[in-house]
Structure 1
Amino acid sequence: MPDGSAPAVFGELAEVVGGQWELFPSLPGPQLRAAARQAIGVPALTAADVRVERTWTDGDLHGEELSWTVGFGPRTRAYLLRPRDHGGRPRRADLGQPPLRARRPGGGGRPP
C-alpha cells in the first residue's frame, strides 16, 4: 500500500477480485437485472393497483401522492414532485437539475 489512500487500496482490491470473477458482466439489461436479483436473493416483485391518492399544486410545484401494493404487507406510499409549466400543468423535469426532495410524514410535515 503506497500511502494508505483509499484509491490505491481499492484499486488493488479491484485487481484481486477481477482476477477471480468477472466484475462487469456484459449481459443485456433484463438478464443483468435477473442475475443481480438472484445473486443477492431479492424476489422479483411487481407493483400492482397503483393509485394517485391525491394531487396538489403549490406555486411552481405540482405534487401527487401515490400508493401501490406488491401483494403483501401494507400499501407502499410515495410522493412524486414535478415543476409546473407556465400554463399550470405538470411538466417533465429538465435533465441535469437536482432532484426535489419530498417531506416525510412525521419528519417535518406533509405536503400541503
Structure 2
Amino acid sequence: MEKGEKRNFIRLDSLHLLDYLIIDKEGRQTTYSMGRTLDVSEHGLQLEVTQPMSVGDTLLVTVGIEDDLIDLVGEVKYAKEASKRYTVGIEFSDISDEGLRILKKYIVAFNTHCS
C-alpha cells in the first residue's frame, strides 16, 4: 500500500486561502501574498489579508477547486483595518464563461464547508 494521499480536490482546510497580486492605481504590481476568504459570490469576494490596500486598487486573485484554477480580476471597493489585519471587499471585473463555471464550483464548496 502506498503512503500518502493522492487528491483530485482541494483540502477543505485550505479552501479559504487564496493568493493575490495587488496592482495599484498606476498599474504597478506591488504585493503578492495570500489571504483568507471570508465570503464569496459570483460578483466578488471578501478577504482578510495582512497587507494594506486602497479603494481602487486592482487585485488579481487565483481561485482553485479540484483540478481547475482561474485568475479573477477585481477592484477593491472597501478596505478596513482591525488588529493588524485588513478586511477588503473586491468586485470582480469581466469573467469568462469558463471562469464563471469554476467560480461557481468554488462558491458551492466554500458554502458547503462554512455551513
TM-score (norm 2): 0.28
Write 1 or 2 for the structure with the bigger share of strand: 2
Q: Which has the higher contact order (CA 8 A, sep 6+)?
A: 2
Write 1 or 2 for the structure with the bigger share of helix: 1
